[in-house]
Structure formats: structure tokens, C-alpha cells
Amino acid sequence: MNKLNNETNLANISATSNTNIISTEQSRKTAEVQAAMTVAKKYPRDQNISFRNIIESCKRKTLAEKATYAYPRGGGMVVGPSIRLAEVLAQQWGNIDFGLLELDRSIGESSVMAYCWDLETNTRRTTVFQVRHIRDTRQGPKKLTDERDIYELVANMGARRMRACILNVIPADITEEALKQCALTLSTGVEPIADRCRKMVNAFTSISVTIEMLEEYLTYKLSSINEEGLNQLRSIYTSIKDGETTRDSYFTITSLPAKEARTEDDDNVVFEAEPIKSKKSRKNKKTIAEEFKKVIQGHEAAVEAYALESGWIKQGEGMGNLKEAYMQSILSQPQAFLKSIS
């Protein structure tokens, strides 16, 4: 009897200690949320940027492969956004607090809350549920006493509830577009522009063109590059690689020596390991101008407008003032260029 009473007292002391720890954690969490709400009001999200970041994240194959769950029900298949996708949506949407919070722990049971809170709009979804410290095994129910086992059980049981809370806060149309992009990523293998840009930077590094040179040429940071800028860099790289032009035609050259281009893999561009051609193999200016005129026939106005906007020619100048290097850049990928400005 005394032994039983001692075990009961020890269990009660342990439960009381855990309750005190949980109470302290709740107080800390409350202070964090209050501070986060203040910051969220001061720096509200830009929904356009948040949406773009979500779509860019969904272009990553590793996420797209884990973006949905599926299970059979009633002779059919239920499919929906996974917890991994829900977490990315909350992170990229911004100013969202979400997670699991253990409210109370008694002998053999925890009271847990899954929540998602939009700190800007004060929209909140919560679910409170009970988790018994028991794991079902083939040998029957197993009582859990180890803290790590209990933590993992609570996290697993709470994942679905947390996902539901997040998806109730994030606008439904944003979730639908994310799922569409994940499906597109898996079907086409499209990479985010940031990843393709990194590959392009590696390609330029192989011919001693630095990030600083690229950003000086573009007049903006590579982190802000768009498809048009990336296509332009592809054309320049191809021209330099093929020996049609040189680095100093586009970039302010530092002390780095020129290197021979090597094979790189970048989206729709194939960089073949061919030696750079000598200056003798370059086309003379007259031949380039004639070929350029032939290629842009029917698109003169659009090409001139693009050249003016890009700073290739000045206001009042015509295509006759376009430098040979710019002509060669267009001639390296004429179809892609004309498509981009049409």
C-alpha cells in the first residue's frame, strides 16, 4: 500500500512540474505573439509579393512532390494539400503565427491546441484536442513515459489539425493556385527563376564575368531579375562563348583573366563544350548588319522600341546607330528574342 501511495505521489509531483513548465511556456508564447502583432501592423504584407513567393516555392520539385496527400475513401480517392505545403503557404504569406501548444498535461494525457493566427487581420483558427500517452503496437497499446516519445506522439497527432487551421486562414484561391503550380512543376519540370539565375551566374563565372559585372550591365540586382533579363544574359553568354563578341563589349572588365567557357546546364539553353572561335572567324560588320536587318524584318518598330527602352540607342536615334555587339546578341537567339518582345 505504501509503495502504491509513493508511486501516486511521484506521478502527481511530475504532473504538477510539467503543468508549471507548460504555464511558463504559455506566458512566453503570449509575449511573443503580442510583439509579433505589433511588428505585423507596422510592416503589413504585400499580397502580390507574397503570392509570387508562394508560386516560386511551388516551382521547386522537392516541394511539389510532397505538396499533396491522398487516401482512399468510399471507393474514391481524397486528395488535398499536405502539411508541408500548408507550412510553406503560411511562411510565404507572411505575418502568420502557427503551431502546436501543449495546454496541460495530466497523468497519461495531454491537452493540445493547434492554431493559426493572421497577425495582421487578427483572424484566428484553433482546435483543442486530447492526446493519450499511448502508442498502438502489434503487441497491443504501449504506455509512453519518455519525454521524446510523448513529444513525437503529440506532434504527429497535431499535424493534421494544424494543417486544417492554416488552410482556414490562408485564402482558398491562393491554395488552389499553389496546387496548380505544384502539378505544373511535376509535369514540366520548370525551375524557379532564382535557380536558373544561379546556373547562369555559374556559366558566366566560367568565363570570368562576375556578379558585379552582370549587375552593372543590367542596372539592377540579380535578385530582381525577370525572364526578359535572364534571356538577355543567355544571349550574351552564347555570343561570348561562340567568339562572336568579347566580354568587354558588355562588361566593365576587372583584373580577372578570361577563361574558356565550359559546359553548363541551364533550362532551355544548351552550353556545348566547343572552343572559343578566333577573331578571324568573326563575321564582318557589314555581314552582321545585313543578317540583322533580315531577321528583324516586319518587327522593326518593336525592336527599335526595345532597344530604346534598354538604352541600346538614344532618343532620336534609329536602328542604324545600334552597336554591332547588340546585333550579335539578338542574332544568337533571334526567335527567342522576337518572341519576348512580341
The predicted-structure confidence for 115-132, as pLDDT tens digits, reads as follows: 999 999 989 999 999 999
Q: What is the pLDDT of residues 175-231, one digit of tens each?
A: 999 999 988 888 776 678 888 888 889 888 888 889 898 988 888 898 888 878 887
Give residues with Cβ within 8 angstroms of 120, minimum separation 6.
Answer: 40, 41, 44, 45, 95
Query: Percent of the chain scored above 70 by pLDDT?
Result: 75
Nearest to 125 by CA among 96, 84, 166: 166
Task: Tell me which of 16-20, 39-43, 114-118, 232-236 is least confident.
Answer: 16-20
Q: What is the pLDDT of residues 282-332, one digit of tens each?
A: 445 567 788 888 888 888 877 787 777 666 777 777 777 887 777 776 776
Dihedral sign for Cα 180, 268, 303, 228, please: positive
- Integer Rg of the chain from CA: 30
pLDDT class of 26 with cuts at 50, 70, 90:
low
Task: Identify each DSSP E strand in 107-242 by its residue range.
Answer: 109-118, 123-132, 134-137, 140-143
Nearest to 64 by CA among 181, 197, 174, 164: 181
Specify burial of residue 10 (Cβ count, 10 A radius: 0-12, 13-18, 19+).
exposed
pLDDT class of 339 with cuts at 50, 70, 90:
low
Give residues with Cβ within 8 angstroms of 265, minimum separation 6.
Answer: 199, 271
